[in-house]
Chains A and B, each alone.
Chain A
């Protein structure tokens, strides 16, 4: 979290006689984001601006790219202006968090949640590719999702900002990658999702490079790890042409085995070394259309009992009656009383409702 002293705006500031700053939302490698009230259109919006001079040039380009796309899975660009020597972007405000924050709370996501997120990301990407816009830096922190318990809304944001990561990579290759990697936060964040062609010849991004990144994001959702690891070691693995290992957790779940296999075949297709072997964004959408998954709204609760190593009950946070679950529906190692979980719930009539899947939150390290 950015200390208040480094925030360029404080709540109550009015920008361009129109946008009243409400609160600080987030900060990325190159920009700060605030929640604002647009007094002209009487709506809440997100206000973004570059943090420094070097970010500034990219910032405008990114705004222009985003502005070309109109799609429910892409954050909408509303305005761009200069005010008191600073550039500002006004974007649709999404009540949510970035996908990175969501992933941080779980060891890995269950296949239904992965299918839901991937399907929407693919639709947003397809719309941007139809508008001729490359994202160049698709990664979990560049997608906004609605808050728990269920990320109903999924929107891609920060188009083309990646050009910066791209340029830093060029510099890194020229001046020594090891040193650059330890000094560039942007590069460290972008690298695990970068396609081999982008690493081999920075500046040659193509549409299929974005498809690779979706594959890498899906891999991370499914396994909790990045397909080729992080940092310097990832570079060699990405350009090696070898496929990433199939996540070890896949064999563990019979109940979800078929769903995992379908998702895995999409991940493999997206992570083809040769860009021409990867599906187009439109093809990716069609493959996601075919995934069988439940988009039933989730709830959150705590496991209150678990018996005979077979079944148990969840006490939901909403105070409604306890929910039954079977261990086969538990998407994790072994259920434990007191474990916090997110779950979808199915019931009708008077019988006890039943949870599937039951997704454990990451245990906090104490």
Chain B
């Protein structure tokens, strides 16, 4: 069995280790590929099932916010194996709060880190996996500023049978994790996600989350508002603390809201006909298109979306006649003039830029 002495000589032990309750991680240098790696062994061989679950979960997830699995160091018997992953450089999130002196400075970085964690978890969920133990000690910011989730020891596939004993991390675990009746689900990750965000923002968990059963941490949420954290996001966090899993927002919804927050005002829209081209952005956020007597519409940019308002004549978006203001799809074709006008109709293509969250 590949206990530490059996790790192949290709990997040179760097003398650093992290001993956890379930498993131990040691850091090695892969001398062949000249990169540092982390090798994880389960402490008690009887928990091998858990390790197998972690490997299955990790290899099914595709995300830049989840640790990369390079290999398994296996034995012919497959009774024991070591998990070989990338080594995450950079900071542990436990020291994250201490980097910001004032609460005001904290807001922009908090939104970025909250976005990255939500992106990682929604990728995990998209693979049909529940993380099961979301808390700040299971994530790390690498040297590029990319947050990665790395401990999937309690991960399970959706629909898997759950145990009857409490597993997770107190204060971060959702109420259902303490009972034997309700299934632990991806909604439990939403709860733990929100607790993680409060922990990052304040450096500790609010008392409301440490009591059993927990209650909404209202004073913490009020503080976030007072620092200038956008109301939409605070409300999403608040919903994450709902007692019922069904009332909590899925991580993909949180990711989308934060993404919008972080790219606000950075779009450009381009409207093109066979003879003209117009650009919309925050500095030029409205335009009226008059296509002779065929039709007339106003297009505006509200720093997140582009909207079209038909003023007169016949205006169609993606072949659908519109009679009231609507949000323009990111790519669309606007047609001015009734279909009976045939070739006399005038067309504009509309396309939006792809601003990315700069991390």
Residues in A lying within 8 Å of B, measured CB to CB: 40-43, 63-64, 67-68, 70-72, 76-81, 112, 119, 127, 130, 254-259, 285-286, 289-296, 308, 310-311, 326, 328-329, 344, 346-349, 351-354, 356
Report whether A41 and B320 are in contact in the complex, using a CB–CB cutoff of 8 Å: no
Query: Considering the chains assembled together, what is the distance between the CA atoms of A256 and B349 in angstroms?
Result: 9
Query: Considering the chains assembled together, what is the distance between the CA atoms of A329 and B332 in angstroms?
Result: 13
Report A204 CB to chain B, min CB distance, Å: 23
Judged by a CB distance under 8 angstroms, whether B46 is at the interface is: no
Report whether A352 and B319 are in contact in the complex, using a CB–CB cutoff of 8 Å: yes
Given that A81-B32, A259-B272, A310-B343 are contacting pairs, would A76 and B355 also be in contact in the complex, using a CB cutoff of 8 Å?
no
Report chain A residues within 8 Å CB of B32: 80-81
Determine the residue in chain B with the shortest Cβ distance to A310: B343
The listed residue (A41, A292, A310, A356) touching B269 by CB distance below 8 A is: A292
Determine the residue in chain A with the shortest Cβ distance to B72: A40
Beyond A41-B72, A351-B339, 8 additional pairs, beta carbon < 8 A = A70-B86, A255-B274, A290-B268, A290-B355, A294-B331, A295-B331, A311-B343, A328-B347
Report whether A349 and B319 are in contact in the complex, using a CB–CB cutoff of 8 Å: yes
Judged by a CB distance under 8 angstroms, whether B14 is at the interface is: no
Stretch at the interface among B62-70, B181-189, B209-217, B235-243: B62-70
Report B99 CB to chain A, min CB distance, Å: 21
Query: Considering the chains assembled together, what is the distance between the CA atoms of A328 and B333 in angstroms?
Result: 12
Report chain B residues within 8 Å CB of A310: 343
Report whether B272 and A291 are in contact in the complex, using a CB–CB cutoff of 8 Å: no
Report whether B71 and A78 are in contact in the complex, using a CB–CB cutoff of 8 Å: yes
Report B10 CB to chain A, min CB distance, Å: 8
Judged by a CB distance under 8 angstroms, whether B352 is at the interface is: yes
The listed residue (B35, B71, B332) touching A41 by CB distance below 8 A is: B71
Interface centre among A43, A68, A289, A328 (most CB of B within 10 A): A289
Judged by a CB distance under 8 angstroms, whether B273 is at the interface is: yes
Query: Considering the chains assembled together, what is the distance between the CA atoms of A72 and B277 in angstroms?
Result: 34
Report whether A294 and B272 are in contact in the complex, using a CB–CB cutoff of 8 Å: no
Report chain B residues within 8 Å CB of A76: 68
Query: Considering the chains assembled together, what is the distance between the CA atoms of A76 and B30 in angstroms?
Result: 16
Report whether A257 and B277 are in contact in the complex, using a CB–CB cutoff of 8 Å: yes
Query: Considering the chains assembled together, what is the distance between the CA atoms of A354 and B347 in angstroms?
Result: 11
Report whether A292 and B274 are in contact in the complex, using a CB–CB cutoff of 8 Å: no
Judged by a CB distance under 8 angstroms, whether B59 is at the interface is: yes
Report B212 CB to chain A, min CB distance, Å: 40
Query: Considering the chains assembled together, what is the distance between the CA atoms of A130 and B333 in angstroms?
Result: 39
Report whether A292 and B70 are in contact in the complex, using a CB–CB cutoff of 8 Å: no
Interface centre among B34, B351, B355 (most CB of A within 10 A): B351
Report whether A256 and B355 are in contact in the complex, using a CB–CB cutoff of 8 Å: no
Report whether B319 and A354 are in contact in the complex, using a CB–CB cutoff of 8 Å: yes
Query: Considering the chains assembled together, what is the distance between the CA atoms of A308 and B333 in angstroms?
Result: 21
Query: Considering the chains assembled together, what is the distance between the CA atoms of A276 and B244 in angstroms?
Result: 58
Report whether B274 and A348 are in contact in the complex, using a CB–CB cutoff of 8 Å: no
Residues 253-288 of chain B, each 1 if its beta carbon lies under 8 Å from chain A, else 0:
000000000000010111011110101000000000
Report chain B residues within 8 Å CB of A77: 33
Determine the residue in chain A with the shortest Cβ distance to B145: A130
Complex A-B: 14 CB contacts under 8 Å: A41-B55, A43-B59, A63-B33, A64-B33, A67-B35, A72-B64, A80-B32, A286-B358, A292-B269, A292-B353, A329-B349, A346-B318, A351-B319, A351-B320
Query: Considering the chains assembled together, what is the distance between the CA atoms of A159 and B29 in angstroms?
Result: 21
Report A18 CB to chain B, min CB distance, Å: 9
Determine the residue in chain A with the shortest Cβ distance to B355: A289
Query: Considering the chains assembled together, what is the distance between the CA atoms of A326 and B317 in angstroms?
Result: 16
Report chain A residues within 8 Å CB of B356: 285, 289
Report whether A346 and B269 are in contact in the complex, using a CB–CB cutoff of 8 Å: no
Determine the residue in chain B with the shortest Cβ distance to A70: B68
Report B256 CB to chain A, min CB distance, Å: 17
Judged by a CB distance under 8 angstroms, whether B330 is at the interface is: yes
